[in-house]
Amino acid sequence: MLTKYDDSNPANQIEITSRFVWSHPAHMIAAFFGAGLPSKAPGTYGTLAGALAYIVLSPSIPAAGWVVLALALLFAGIWAADKVARDLGVSDHKSVVVDEVVGIWLLYAFLPHGIAWWVAGFVAFRFFDIVKLPPVDIIDEKMKNGAGVMADDIVAAFYAWVVVSILGWLFG
């Protein structure tokens, strides 16, 4: 897990530019329209971009609609993450944040609406995405393709949903 975030990881030594992001539709999807550009904490920025998109659009889209959107973005993200990996020559580049967007959309779709739920969900999701408890760590280590990039964040979203739901039940 730690080597994934270490500066010696080849995926962390390649800096991308906005020119790269906008050069191909897969790059735009993978970096979620530039949210993955920051060199520090791109996953947090990607999660924040996904959370803000959800919060702004949620009055117009029901939970089932978010699940459909997340599934569509999941399949697009698999393709996009694979394309970026081929183009950069490294798997799971830090700029690929579409997986965080799918994860936070799925999590928020299954939580009640409200700022406290959204903040708790955001914090829990980032925690589980970074810590990578089993089987997330195994998925992250063994599946070096677009499906693996996307899958570990779906499991992290599930863990976050369980924890936030239990906390909501205990303190709500």
pLDDT tens per residue, range 62-114? 999 999 999 999 999 999 999 999 999 998 899 999 999 999 999 999 999 99
Residue 93: its pLDDT value, please? 94
Burial class of residue 7 (count of CB atoms within 10 Å of its CB; 0-12, 13-18, 19+): exposed
Burial class of residue 141 (count of CB atoms within 10 Å of its CB; 0-12, 13-18, 19+): middle
> Residue 169 pLDDT > 80, yes or no?
yes
Query: What is the tens place of the pLDDT at every residue in 10-49?
Result: 766 788 999 999 999 999 999 999 999 999 999 999 999 9
> Residue 2 pLDDT > 60, yes or no?
no
Residue 122: its pLDDT value, please? 98
Residue 158: its pLDDT value, please? 98
- In the structure, what pLDDT confidence band is assigned to residue 150 with cuts at 50, 70 and 90? very high
Query: What is the tens place of the pLDDT at every residue in 111-148?
Result: 999 999 999 999 999 999 999 999 988 888 888 899 99
Nearest to 120 by CA among 64, 170, 46: 170
Token pair listed for 20: 């790269």
The Cα 10–Cα 8 span in angstroms is 6
**Mean pLDDT, residues 149-162 taken together:** 97
